[in-house]
Amino acid sequence: MCGIVGFIGNEPVYEKIIKGLSRLEYRGYDSAGLAVIENNELLVRKCKGKVADLQNNVGSQVLGSTIGIGHTRWATHGVPNDVNAHPHFGENKNIALIHNGIIENYASLKEALIGRGHHFVSETDTEVLVHFIEDIRDSEQVSLFEAVRMALTEVVGAYAIVVLDQSNPDELIVAKKSSPLVIGIGSNDDYYIASDATPIIEYTKNVVYLNDEEVAKLNRREGLTIVNIQNQKQTPYIQELELKLEAIEKGGYDSFMLKEIHEQPRSIQDSFRGRLNLKQGVVKMSGIDDHEERWKNAGRIVVVACGTSWHAGLVAEYLFEDFARIPVEVEYASEFRYRNPVLFTDDIVIAISQSGETADTLAAIELAKEKGAFIFGVCNVVGSTISRATHSGAYTHAGPEIGVASTKAFTAQVTVLFQMALALAEKRGTLSSGRLSRLVAELNSLPIKITEVLKTNEQVEQIAQIYKNRSNALYLGRGYSFPVALEGALKLKEISYIHAEGYPAAEMKHGPIALIDENMPVIVIATEGASYEKVVSNIQEVKARKGQIIAIVTEGDKTVKAMADHVIEIPRTDDSLVPILSAVPLQLFSYHVAIMRGCNVDQPRNLAKSVTVE
Ligand code: G6P
């Protein structure tokens, strides 16, 4: 949700800003802007639209500046337009600031500043913050570094900010609370700032993740200085990035989404690499082993998550209850925190988040912590806020996911949750060793099976061609396939803007059946397993009302094939692992429909990948 970059060093920064913003565009693409100090003057360019629009806006001006900041916005306060785009300035137009987050008490600050003679041109909370900093600097006669620190002691909300002052072209000031911010340290006194490491990786691997309520000064002569909000000096902890440049590039694919869908055989393998012991037929997860007694005696698991991660949480409910016999509740993080949820001392809260930055999930974690719960994180982004806020956890290791609609992160989340359920089942003695071994072996064979599923791509594309202009779609599944029906519908909505709903197949007759006619495509996950016969009956009910059936079936299936309009076959696997296989053709279907409708699959309208506002 908003991407920010900043560079200060010995080389021109313009290209770096543009490239960095393009890498962060998945975080928001309502507007883009930059500020540099060019010939001792603050030069600001900003506009509604994407980074490419900003580039056009800058035109052929050669920017030689060696200090600058850039921003790509997902609008919160104020519509996306040129005026509301970042950077914003103070009253005297000599301080520029970019911001990711929300200043909750901006209205009262604004009122006080207006009383002190400040004028505002935008509707944003960010403009208030830069005026506030400027006001403190000028009235208290302190440095910009000190003024930022003082201002932030009075700010309520979330922020990652970078501040640039025309009168000091040798320095950038940064600060963060609840929104991510990374500082890269180059070899030649160059510094790089970004919301995540992707704009930094091609320049340096040495980074410092700023902690909440820390303020840093990056000065050409003095280097890096960090203080906390109480003005105590902090020692920077320099880490080495493991991220590889190839991982954040399209690698020959037309879109990140298609690349990420095709990466799934590898990303799934990576999410169980080093965790499966095939000989003994067990799963080893340090996050569970390190807290063995707690897990063994857990009375209940409460999952908190949003979006696709919430769907992975629903699969986990089936897995944990089925294998480990622990009762599970799956909560939208945003609802959980606004109830007065009951948590017991033997509850374990699992927070699932690809980005590890989702504000609602983070807030749910904080609430659960206050109530004394033990929190386990399932995150993809290493070092992310949620991964650091939890007591223990397991990374999904899917690699960077850049397409806004989640694909490989979902299957990796389910893979990790599956392993957790097996590890718990072993510890709690709820599965026979034979069944455990078979499940471990089956998981190990999944990458090959996903490769098989990906071969359905062309067939799925042909089906998409037939249905691309429909206005609605219904997704049905039962048992383990119900969460996949929800996830399939979400994918179609997100990237093709077709209204789609996921339903438990049997619930169809309690409402959605009224919608079925010859124009309604019904996508059914009808693989062999516990509820196969029942789903076959649901398919008949749809056909009786002239609905069109696209069915995901187990290879060799004859029954469904005889009644469905289209079938997509996936390899046979255990019922509990079907979600990982069946999600893939649904991802491909959404992808092809969206492409055929001319949609931008990587940056669907109004969405952002990392939702750092509540
Ligand atoms: C946004 C993204 C979704 C994601 C959700 C939760 O809505 O577009 O793809 O599932 O946030 O994000 P998280 O990073 O917490 O998994």
> Best mutation site among 2, 611, 612, 613 for ligand 1, i.e. most ligand atoms within 8 A of its Cβ?
611
Question: Residue 184: which CATH number?
Answer: 3.60.20.10
Quick check: 66 and 10 in contact, CB under 8 A?
yes
Determine the Cα–Cα distance for residues 465 and 516; give it in Å rounded to an integer. Answer: 20
Q: Is 308 in the pocket of ligand 1 (CB under 6 A)?
A: yes
Considering the domain boundaries, does residue 571 fall inside one?
A: no
Question: Residue 380: which CATH number?
Answer: 3.40.50.10490
Question: For 45-69, what is each residue's pLDDT tens digit?
Answer: 999 988 989 988 887 676 789 999 9
Q: Is 583 in the pocket of ligand 1 (CB under 6 A)?
A: no
Query: What pLDDT is recorded for position 223?
Result: 94
DSSP classification of residue 178: B
DSSP-derived 3-state class of residue 65:
coil
Considering the domain boundaries, does residue 32 fall inside one?
A: yes
The residue nearest atom 4 of ligand 1, judged by CA position, is 307
Query: What pLDDT is recorded for position 84?
Result: 85
Tell me the CA end-to-end span of the chain in Å, nearest whole number. Answer: 11
Q: Is the dihedral of CA 552, 556, 558, 561 positive or negative?
A: positive
Query: What pLDDT is recorded for position 201?
Result: 92
Q: Is 355 in the pocket of ligand 1 (CB under 6 A)?
A: yes
Question: Are 230 and 364 in the same domain?
Answer: no
Index of the ligand 1 atom closest to the CA of residue 361? 15
Centre of ligand 1 to C-alpha 350, Å, is: 16
The residue nearest atom 5 of ligand 1, judged by CA position, is 307
The residue nearest atom 8 of ligand 1, judged by CA position, is 609
Determine the Cα–Cα distance for residues 306 and 303; give it in Å rounded to an integer. Answer: 10
Question: Are 278 and 263 in the same domain?
Answer: yes
Determine the Cα–Cα distance for residues 302 and 305; give it in Å rounded to an integer. Answer: 10
Beta bridge partners of 472: 499
Centre of ligand 1 to C-alpha 574, Å, is: 28
Q: Is 404 in the pocket of ligand 1 (CB under 6 A)?
A: yes
Q: Is 306 in the pocket of ligand 1 (CB under 6 A)?
A: yes
Which residue, 417, 444, 471, sits at the end of a domain?
A: 444
Give the residue numbers marked as catalytic: 2, 609
Half-sphere exposure of 446 (CA within 13 A, CB side): 36
Query: What pLDDT is recorded for position 283?
Result: 96
Question: Are 419 and 338 in the same domain?
Answer: yes
Question: Are 279 and 408 in the same domain?
Answer: yes
Question: Are 29 and 153 in the same domain?
Answer: yes
- Write the burial class of residue 141 (CB in 10 Å: 0-12 exposed, 13-18 middle, 19+ buried): exposed
Considering the domain boundaries, does residue 473 fall inside one?
A: no
Which residues of the chain, if any, have pLDDT below 50? Answer: none
DSSP-derived 3-state class of residue 13:
coil
Index of the ligand 1 atom closest to the CA of residue 410? 10
Q: Is 307 in the pocket of ligand 1 (CB under 6 A)?
A: yes
Q: Is the dihedral of CA 382, 383, 386, 390 positive or negative?
A: positive
Beta bridge partners of 98: 162
Question: For 561-575, what is each residue's pLDDT tens digit?
Answer: 999 999 999 999 999
Question: Are 266 and 353 in the same domain?
Answer: yes
Index of the ligand 1 atom closest to the CA of residue 386? 15
DSSP-derived 3-state class of residue 280:
coil
Which residue, 213, 247, 281, sits at the end of a domain?
A: 247
Centre of ligand 1 to C-alpha 157, Å, is: 21
For the record, the structure tokens of 214 come out as 């820390």
Determine the Cα–Cα distance for residues 137 and 173; give it in Å rounded to an integer. Answer: 13
Query: What pLDDT is recorded for position 62?
Result: 64
Query: What pLDDT is recorded for position 93?
Result: 92
**Radius of gyration, CA atoms only, the chain:** 26
Q: Is 31 in the pocket of ligand 1 (CB under 6 A)?
A: no
Query: What pLDDT is recorded for position 605?
Result: 87
Question: Are 112 and 155 in the same domain?
Answer: yes
Buried residues in 315-329 as b, exposed as e (16+ CB within 10 A)? bbbbbbebbbebebe
Residue indicated by tokens 């949609």 = 599
Quick check: 224 and 216 in contact, CB under 8 A?
yes
Question: Are 359 and 274 in the same domain?
Answer: yes
Nearest to 126 by CA among 147, 148, 100: 100
Domain residues for the domain of 85 are 3-247
Note the helical H segments in 70-116: 106-115
Beta bridge partners of 172: 164, 218
Quick check: 301 and 326 in contact, CB under 8 A?
yes
Question: Are 211 and 306 in the same domain?
Answer: no
Q: Is 379 in the pocket of ligand 1 (CB under 6 A)?
A: no
Considering the domain boundaries, does residue 462 fall inside one?
A: no
Count of C-beta atoms within a 10 Å radius of residue 605: 12
Q: Is 607 in the pocket of ligand 1 (CB under 6 A)?
A: yes
Centre of ligand 1 to C-alpha 582, Å, is: 20
Which residue, 398, 425, 444, sits at the end of a domain?
A: 444
Phi then psi for residue 74, to 5 deg, are -115, 115
DSSP secondary structure letters along 69-107: EEEEE--SSS-SSTTTSSPEE-TTS-EEEEEEEEETTHH
